[in-house]
Structure 1
Amino acid sequence: MFAASEAESLIRRLTNLIKSQEELITHTNVISSVSQTLQRCFFYSIRNDEAPSATENAKKLFEIESVLDYVQDELNTGHWSEVPVPTRSCFTAASFIKCLLLLKLTTTFDAKLLKQCLKCLDLGLLLGAPLIENCELLTEAAKRLSEEINRVGEDSGIHSSKTNKRKLSNDYKVHFEKLCAIEVDGIECPSLEQFHREYFSTQIPVKLKGCMEHWPATNKWLDVNYLLHIAGDRTVPVEIGSHYVDENWTQKLMTLKDFIKKHYLDNDSDIGYLAQHNLFDQITELKEDIRIPEYCCLSEDTENDTEPDINAWFGPKGTVSPLHHDPKNNILAQVYGTKQLLLFSPKDSSYLYPHEGKLLFNTAQVDPSCPDLVKHPQFVKAKMYKCLLEPGEMLFIPMKWWHHVTALEKSFSVSFWW
C-alpha cells in the first residue's frame, strides 16, 4: 500500500496543477480516435476506485504510448518549423497523461519510477508546445518530480567537481595577442543611456564588465554538484561533434548527469555541447540564478517588444560555434570559463563565403581561426575583430554581426537575444 499511497498522493499534486481538463483531453487537429484515447487514459489515471486488473493497466499504457508514437511520427514528418503547433500541443498533453498513468500503475514507488516519469515530461517539453490554458503544466510537474526524486534520496554527486576561478593560461593570451584583428572595446558597467548612445544605436560590439556580480550563478554554478542536484536527471539535447557544420555532427537526448560525466568531466573522444538550448524555461529553478541585463530593454521596434530569448551554452574546453550571424541583438554572458570570439561586420558578409541555401544561409564557409585562402581568397578583405570573454563579462553582439566562438576552458555561457 505504501507504493500506491505515495503514487496517488503525487498524482493528486500533479493534477492540482491542471487549469483546464478540456484543453488536456480535446485535440481537434488529430483524428478523433486519438482525442478519445487521450480522454479515456486521462480519466483512468485519476480514478480513485479499486485497483483494476493488470490486463486493464497494460491496455491503458499501451493506448497512451500508441498516441505518443502516432503524434511523434507527425512531428518527424517534414521540416520541424512546419509542424503545426496543435500537433505539438497534443504531444504535450499525451506526455503528461503518460506520466500520470505510470504513477497510477506502479507497484514500486522509487527513484527509478520517478525518473521514468520525469523523462516523459521532459520529452513533452522538448518536442511539444505549451498548452494555452495550461502553459506551465509540464514545467511545474517536472519541478514536483525533481523535488520528489531528491526526497526519495539518491546520491548523484561528483567529488572534486568545483571549477576553480583560475586565470587563463598565458599560452592562450599570447595566441590571442598575436591574432591580426582589432580588439573589441571594453567598458565598465555603462549606464543605459551611454550604452544606447555609443553602442546600441550605432550597432558596435562592446565588452561589458562588472555587470554580473549580482548573479547567483557566478558562484553556484562553479560546483557541478549544484547543477546535478537541481537538474541532474533532466533530459536535455546535446550536440555531438566538433560543430554543427561538420558532416559527423549529430544530436542526442541524454540526462544532464550523463552529459556532465561523459562529455564535460571525462575526455571523451566525441565533443559534447549543450548548445543554444532554452534550459531556463525547461528548468525554472536555474532561471532564478541569472538576471536579464537591463540593456535588453532597448529596442528600435517598441511596438513589437518581447522578452529576450534566453539560451544556455554549457560544455568542455574546445567547443566551437562556427562563424555565423543571428537575426537579433545578442548579449553573451560568461558565467565561468573563457571564450575567444572573432567578429565581422555585416558589411563584410561577401568576403566570408556564406553557405548557399536556406538551412545554413547564416553560416560562413570560411574558418576565421584557420582560413583557407586558396578556397576563400576574398577573406583577406574582411576586417576582423577579436574578444577574449572572461568570467563575469558580457559581450554585446549586434544583430547580423558575424561571430566565431571557441571555448578555451570548460565554460557556461548564457545568451540573451532580443
Structure 2
Amino acid sequence: MIKLWDLRSTSEKPVQSTSLAEDSEIGVTSMDRHPFQGHIVAVGGYDGMLTVYDMRKAQTPVTVMEASDSCLNDLRFHPERADHLFTASESGAVWHWVPLSAKSPTSSGPSGNLWLSGDLATQQLNIKEILPSLPLAVNSVDLEKVDHKKLNPSIHELFSEITQKYVEIRNTCSSQLPETDCSTLLLKVDLAINYVWEQLHTGQWKDVDPEWRKLYSHLSLFKAFLCLELEKEGSSGLVNAIAACDMGLIMGEPILDGLLSNIANSLNEKLWKLSETKRTFQENQMEQEDSIESSQLNKEFLIETIHVPSIETFLLDIMDKKPVVITGAMDFWPAMGDSRWSVNYLRKIAGYRTVPIEIGSKYTDDAWSQSLTTINQFIDDYILKPSATSGYLAQYQLFQQIPQLKKDILVPDYCYLGDCDDIQVNAWFGPRGTISPLHYDPDHNFLSQVVGSKYIRLYSEEVTSSLYPHGQDLLFNTSQVDIENPDLKKFPLFSSAPYVETILEPGSMLYLPPRMWHYVRSLSTSFSDSLSALENMKSENTGILLKIGSCQILIEKLGLLKSRQSSSSGFIYRKQNVLKLGH
C-alpha cells in the first residue's frame, strides 16, 4: 500500500491511498518515480510483484507484473531511457526489463506510456538477467554514470564498447553464455584495466581524479562477472572473481552500494565451504612469545594504566596531556568474545581476500617493499612458519574492504569528543618481531590490542631534537635511531631522552596524544587496531563537557542515568548523549 501526504496540510491523514485491491494491504519494499512523468510510480512488494500506478487518478495499479518469486528489494528506472527498468530481489536475481519495440516510451501502449499499458505491458517487455547467479540477496540497485568528460576519449570509447557488449552477451537467449564472446570481452576488460592502472600510478595518488578510480571499480566488476561465467566448474572462477573484486576495492572507489564488497564476501564464504581442509592454528604451539614481561620493565618508566576512565576524566586529565593504557573498554567487543579472532576465524571470514602487505621488518629498511597476497597465503608464509623476511599487514584500512570484520570491533566513545565522526580504523596483523620504527602521528590515536602482545616505548614531542628525525620530506616524522640498538656515536643526545614504556596485552587500549613519538615491536603473533581521530577534536567541546561534569554528578545521585558500561571511575557516554546533556 502507498499513502500520499500533502505536507502543506495540517491534517495527519493521507490525501490518497493505493493498494493492489480494496481488501489488500501488501507491504511495499521499494519504489521509484518515472524520471520524466512524475505521476507514474513503480512499486515493488514483499510478494515479488512489480506494480505501476498512475498517481493522478488510480487507487489501484494500472499494470501488475510478476518480477520475482521472492521479495522485490529494489527497483530503478533508467534515468535517461525510462522505458528500461532494473529490479533486484531477495533471491539474488537482478533483471533488466527491456522494451521489445524501439519506439520511445511516450508512444507505447494506448495510454501513451509503456508502463501504463496494463496487460499489454507484459507483451512489450523482455526480461534479461544481467548478473550471474550469486548466492546472496541483492538489497539495492543503483544506476551510476562515469563522467566521461574527465576521461580520455579512447578509454571512454573502450568502456562504452565493453558495457554494450556485456549487455548484449547477457541478453542472449541461451542459458549458457558464448564462451568465445566472454573470452574476447575479458581480454578487452583486462586491456582497459591495465590502461586505468597506469593512470592511477601517474603522479601522486591524491591528485588522481576520482572518476578514474570509479572506472577501475566498474571494470573490476565486469571482470568478476566474466570470470564467474568462464570458469563455472571448480573453484578457479571463484578465486579469480574475488581477486578482481578486491582489486576494485583496493584501487577504486565505492560503487553500486558496496556491490563489490558484497560479492567478494559471498565468494569467500563459498570458497571456505568448498575447502577440503580447514586448518586450525594454536599460537602457543607455533611460536614462543618473546621473554620480555611487564615485571621486567622499570616501574618508574611504566605508562599509567586506568580502568575505563569516564568521559570527564578523559577530557580533563588525559586528552592531549599524557598517554594512558585503558583497560575494560574492549570487554564488549565481539572480537574479544563470541567472534574471538584467531587465524582460523580470519581464514573463514577473509581467507581468500587480496590485501597489500609490507615485506621487511620495518619500513625504514633498504630492502623494505610491498606486495599483494591473499590472507590465506599471508598466514601460510609469514604466520605459521618462520620466514627469513617478515611480512606485515600494516596500517591498512582492512575493515573498509571487509566490513564483516568491522562488526567485531566497537569504536570507543572517546573518539567522538570532536566535531568529526570520520574515525580512521587501520589493521596491524603480523608475526613476532615486526616493528614500527620510532615515529609520530598528527592525530589522536587509540591502539587496541586484540591478539598477542606488543612492546611499546614513547617519547614526548619536547625531546624531538634528541630523536634525530630524518631530514627528507617523506620520513620527516620518523627517527633515524634504532632505539633498541642505538648508535650513540652518531646520535649522542638520544641516551638522555626520557621515555615511558609498556607491554600492551590483549584487551588493552593505548591512548596516544598527537605528535607523541612511539616505537612498537610485536612480541608474538599480533593483531591490533588503531583508531585515529582528528587532532582538533578537543577544544570546541571543553566548555560543554565541563557542564556535563556537574550534570553527571547530579544525574548519578538521582539514579537516572543508565549506561551500557559503568565502573568505579564513572560512565561512558555516546556522543549524542553528551551533546544533549550539554545544552
| TM-score, shorter chain, exceeding 0.5 | yes
Letter in 1 for 2:205: W
- 2:393 corresponds to which residue? 274
Query: What is the rounded CA distance, in whole Å, between the counterparts of 1:245 and 1:41 in structure 2?
Result: 48
Is residue 196 of structure 2 the alignment partner of residue 76 of structure 1? no
> Given the alignment, which residue of 131, 139, 154 partners 2:261?
139
Tell me the residue number matched to 2:342: 223
Distance (whole Å) between structure 2 residues aligned to residue 282 and residue 332 of structure 1: 20
Amino acid at match of 1:319: T
Q: Summarize deviations over 1:75-103 as a string: whole Å, max 9, x none.
A: 12223333222211111111011111222
- Aligned CA distance change for structure 1 residues 392 and 70 (closer, same or farther; 3 Å): same
Match of 1:403 in 2: 518
Q: By percentage of residues, which structure has more strand? A: 2
Q: Distance in 1 between matches of 2:477 and 2:296?
A: 25
CA-CA distance at 1:155 after TM superposition: 3.0
For 1:96, the equivalent position in structure 2 comes to: 221
Flag the 1:52–1:113 CA change in 2: closer, same or farther, 3 A: closer
**1:17-166 mapped onto 2 (5 Å cutoff):** 19-23=141-145, 27-31=148-152, 32-44=156-168, 46-50=170-174, 51=176, 53-106=178-231, 108-131=232-255, 134-151=256-273, 153-159=274-280, 161-163=281-283
* DSSP 3-state at the match of 2:163: helix
- 2:162–2:189 contact (8 Å) kept in structure 1: yes
Secondary structure at the aligned position of 1:417 is classed as strand
Q: Give matches, 1:207-356, under 5 Å.
A: 207-219=325-337, 220-299=339-418, 302=419, 305-356=420-471
Moved more, 206-215 or 44-53: 44-53
Mark the CA change 1:67 to 1:16 in structure 2 (over 3 Å): closer, same or farther: farther
Separation (CA, whole Å) in 1 of partners of 2:346 and 2:424: 21
CA contact (8 A) 2:289 2:432 kept: no
Q: 8 Å contact 1:28–1:35 — kept in the other structure? A: no
Superposed displacement of residue 136, structure 1: 1.5
Measure, in 1, the Cα distance between the counterparts of 2:329 and 2:177: 58
The answer (yes or no) to whether the contact 2:230–2:237 under 8 Å persists in 1 is: no
Name the structure with the higher helix share: 1
TM-score by length of 2: 0.64
- CA pair 105-193 structure 1, distance change in 2 beyond 3 A: same
Q: Is the 8 A contact 1:221 1:227 kept in 2?
A: no
Give the whole-Å Cα distance in 1 for the aligned partners of 2:428 and 2:375. Answer: 13
Question: Is the 1:91–1:128 contact (alpha carbons within 8 Å) kept by the matching residues of 2?
Answer: yes
Residue 247 of structure 2 aligns with an amino acid whose one-letter code is L
Q: Pick closer, same or farther for the CA change 1:338–1:239 going to 2, 3 Å.
A: same
| Partner Cα separation in structure 1 for residue 306 and residue 465 of structure 2 | 30
Instruction: Specify the SS of the correspondent of 2:475.
Output: coil
Contact 2:359-2:370 within 8 A present in 1 as well = yes
Counterpart residue identity of residue 239, structure 2: K
Please give the per-residue CA displacement for 1:12-54, whole angstroms capped at 9, x wherever unaligned: 558946633342x654322232332342244246435225644
- Give CA-to-partner distance per residue, 1:295-320, whole Å, 9 cap, x none: 11122xx2xx1321101111110000
Question: Quick one: distance in 1 between partners of 2:459 and 2:342?
Answer: 35
Aligned residue for 2:69? none
Change (3 A) 1:156 1:376: farther
CA contact (8 A) 1:41 1:63 kept: no
Structure 1 counterpart of 2:54: none
Q: Which residue of 1 aligns with 2:552?
A: none
**Counterpart secondary structure, 2:293:** helix
8 Å contact from structure 1 (residues 334, 391) kept in 2: yes
Q: Report how far residue 281 of structure 1 moved.
A: 1.2
What is the aligned partner in structure 2 of residue 3 from structure 1?
Answer: none
CA distance in 1, matches of 2:168, 2:312: 58
Q: Are the aligned partners of 1:342 and 1:368 in contact in 2 as well (CA < 8 Å)?
A: no
Shift of 1:156: 4.6
Partners of 2:466 and 2:497 within 8 A in 1: yes
Runs of 4+ in 1 over 4 A off after TM superposition: 12-18
Unaligned 5+ segments in structure 1 are: 1-5
The Cα of 1:370 is off from its aligned counterpart by 2.0
Distance in structure 2 (CA, Å) of the matches to 1:22 and 1:187 = 49
Go from structure 1 to structure 2 and tell me whether the alpha carbon gap of 1:100 and 1:18 turns closer, same or farther (over 3 Å shift): farther
Q: Which has the higher Rg, Structure 1 or Structure 2?
A: 2
Q: 1:206 aligns with which of 321, 324, 336?
A: 324
Compared with structure 1, are the counterparts of its residues 10 and 158 closer, same or farther at alpha carbon in structure 2 (3 Å cutoff)?
Answer: farther
Q: Which runs of 5+ in 2 are unaligned?
A: 1-92, 94-128, 534-583
Does 1 or 2 have the higher relative contact order (CA < 8 Å, sep 6+)? 1
* Equivalenced residues, count: 400
Letter in 2 for 1:20: D
Query: Would the aligned equivalents of 1:164 and 1:222 in 2 still touch at CA under 8 Å?
Result: no
